[in-house]
Amino acid sequence: MKKILFVALVSILLLTACGGEKGIEVHNAWARPAAQGGNGGVYFELHNHDSTPDELIGASSDVAAVVEIHESKMDGDVMQMHMIPSLPLEAYADIAFEPGGLHVMLINLKQDLKIDDEFDIVLHFKNYEDITVHVQVKEGAPEEEHDDM
């Protein structure tokens, strides 16, 4: 009887450990301040908790005329940005969008992005449903993230 109870407890613990993490999730979304008419970058962590691969195929937002997925890369001494039409998301992929790398580019902003402003972007996937991401305007990456970098 004791053994059965123990097994039941372990199962519950295992379930809670994975609880709330299903499908595709976005964490710690932030953007740098930017001016109306200019461009802005949005950064976050993209997790695929699923065993099924997917693809990030685009993004949209009310705050900018055009929204694209970009990747910055050093080409010799010059930082170049490339548009990425489709970003593969492998099973259990954990992809960081961060300054100097992948980012969502807001082109021709319709409004100023000031510190502490909040706005939404929507990520579009090949198979998964759209994800609305709440973005906070900050000077740099969120404090709690510094330890992981």
Q: Are 48 and 110 in contact (CB under 8 A)?
A: no
Asked if residue 97 binds Cu ion (CB under 5 A), the reply is no
Asked if residue 64 binds Cu ion (CB under 5 A), the reply is no
* Distance, first Cα to last Cα, the chain: 47
Using the minimum distance from each CB to Cu ion, give the nearer residue, 24 or 69.
Answer: 69
Contact with Cu ion (CB under 5 A) among 29, 70, 102, 106: 70
Q: How far apart, in whole angstroms, are the C-alpha atoms of residue 129 and residue 17?
A: 24
Q: How far apart, in whole angstroms, are the C-alpha atoms of residue 96 and residue 7?
A: 37
Contact with Cu ion (CB under 5 A) among 32, 45, 57, 81: 81
Structure tokens of 24? 């595709």
Asked if residue 54 binds Cu ion (CB under 5 A), the reply is no
Asked if residue 84 binds Cu ion (CB under 5 A), the reply is no
- Residue showing tokens 């699923």: 50
Contact with Cu ion (CB under 5 A) among 56, 102, 105, 137: 105
Interface residues with Cu ion (CB under 5 A) are 70, 81, 105
